[in-house]
């Protein structure tokens, strides 16, 4: 496992307010840490008839949108080890965004002018029910969080020693967070169940070629990026809990209809590289943007403002502002000094 912490910067944000003495304005946001993890600790091709963690490629495709198989019939599970990341103090952390990169082997034919259609936009569920309503060629590749079923958890559903599916479907499934709900929702049968989803990101790539019919197709060995720069609070809380536990996991999904076994779809569908891919290929990697609560953030909302002084006065929150192991009047003075310093910085010419 390789990982690196890229850089750490303080990002000031200007606020403006005037109060009776002590005259204090709002202050700065949290410190930011960028953590890059590569390669994945493990990947699993989640497919009932596949090779699980030993797959040399992981195709993503749909079923025929009917029982007994889920709509998202083939997906790729990725988990990265974040246990090497330790903040400078015991302050809370929060994932604010991320960028995931991985490589696609492309179609089973490896014909660059007859590869996967490039579709970088979300397709609503209605376009799968009636494909004639799809306004652009192809289907997007989507990224989701991971949920577990049938008594499994992240800790117990690992590698090929554990089955990808049970009697009533897959044991690990893609989930989203509709309307900022903190309860993750299964999306493995989103088309059959008739609802639109909220993917974390839609995959994009610059590695394209124009086919003879004028459509854009994906080149072999294309490098894909899934950019999630502004997570909802529910998504942030979900992934922050994973990072606190030492890892982070994703599920790559797409709904191209596969052409095998009389499924009625295309022979051309995404095939992603895995740890077991036999020829050299760039590793999957994820870059995490993490906010670290600053010492003066008493109420741990990841900003320093008057609400922190109110919390300190009321005896709540993390009151050891100077982090010397005890709560004294010096902590209040340090908090006020921070607020005043940022106030002066905001109004300085």
Q: How far is CA 317 from the centre of its chain?
A: 29
Element (H, E) at 116: none
pLDDT value at residue 295: 87
Helices (H), the chain: 125-129, 190-193, 233-245, 306-313, 329-347
pTM of the model: 0.84
pLDDT value at residue 340: 87
Q: How far apart are the first and last CA of the chain?
A: 48
The HSE-up count of residue 93 (CA atoms within 13 Å, CB side) is 24
Q: What angle do CA 144, 148, 154 make, to 5 degrees?
A: 90
**Contact residues for 344 (Cβ-Cβ < 8 A; gap 6+):** none
Q: What gap in Å lies between CA 341 and CA 148, rounded to an integer?
A: 48
Q: Cα dihedral angle (337, 339, 341, 343), rounded to 10 degrees?
A: -150
pLDDT value at residue 266: 57
Nearest to 312 by CA among 338, 289, 287, 290: 338
Q: What angle do CA 59, 62, 68 make, to 5 degrees?
A: 120
Q: How far is CA 171 from the centre of its chain?
A: 20
Judged on CB neighbours under 10 Å (0-12, 13-18, 19+), 135 is exposed
**CB–CB of 60/268 below 8 Å?**
no
pLDDT value at residue 90: 72
**CB–CB of 270/25 below 8 Å?**
no
Q: What gap in Å lies between CA 77 and CA 272, rounded to an integer?
A: 11
Q: What is the CA radius of gyration of the chain?
A: 24
Q: What gap in Å lies between CA 216 and CA 118, rounded to an integer?
A: 6
Q: What is the DSSP letter of 154?
A: T
pLDDT value at residue 27: 44
**Contact residues for 219 (Cβ-Cβ < 8 A; gap 6+):** 106, 112, 115, 207, 208, 209
pLDDT averaged over consecutive 10-residue blocks of the chain (349 residues)? 35 28 44 90 92 92 84 96 72 93 76 80 96 91 96 84 84 93 93 97 95 87 95 94 93 84 59 91 94 88 90 92 91 91 50
pLDDT value at residue 112: 63
């Amino acid at each position: 496992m390789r990982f690196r912490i890229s850089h750490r910067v303080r990002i000031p944000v200007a606020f403006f307010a005037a109060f009776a003495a002590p005259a204090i304005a709002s202050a700065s946001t949290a410190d930011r840490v960028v953590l890059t993890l590569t390669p994945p600790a493990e990947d699993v091709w989640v497919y009932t008839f596949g090779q699980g963690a030993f797959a040399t490629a992981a195709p993503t495709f749909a079923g025929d949108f009917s029982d007994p198989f889920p709509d998202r019939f083939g997906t790729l599970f990725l988990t990265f080890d974040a246990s090497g990341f330790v903040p400078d103090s015991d302050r809370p952390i929060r994932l604010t965004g991320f960028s995931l990169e991985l490589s696609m082997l492309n179609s089973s034919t490896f014909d660059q002018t007859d590869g996967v259609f490039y579709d970088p936009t979300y397709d609503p569920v209605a376009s799968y029910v009636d494909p004639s309503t799809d306004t652009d060629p192809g289907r997007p590749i989507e990224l989701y969080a991971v949920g577990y079923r049938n008594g499994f958890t992240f800790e117990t559903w690992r590698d090929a020693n554990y089955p990808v599916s049970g009697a009533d479907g897959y044991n690990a499934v893609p989930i989203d967070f509709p309307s900022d709900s903190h309860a993750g929702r299964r999306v493995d049968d989103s088309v059959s169940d008739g609802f639109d989803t909220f993917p974390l990101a839609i995959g994009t790539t610059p590695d394209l070629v124009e086919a003879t019919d004028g459509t854009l197709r994906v080149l072999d060995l294309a490098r894909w990026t899934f950019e999630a720069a502004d997570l909802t609070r529910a998504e942030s809380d979900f992934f922050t809990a994973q990072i606190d536990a030492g890892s982070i996991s994703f599920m790559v999904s797409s709904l191209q209809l596969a052409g095998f076994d009389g499924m009625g779809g295309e022979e051309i569908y995404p095939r992603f590289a895995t740890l077991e891919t036999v020829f050299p290929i760039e590793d999957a990697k994820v870059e995490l943007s993490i906010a670290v609560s600053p010492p003066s953030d008493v109420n741990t909302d990841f900003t320093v403002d008057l609400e922190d002084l109110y919390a300190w006065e009321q005896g709540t929150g993390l009151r050891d502002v100077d982090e010397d192991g005890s709560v004294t009047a010096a902590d209040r003075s340090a908090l006020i000094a921070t607020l005043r310093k940022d106030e002066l910085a905001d109004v300085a010419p």
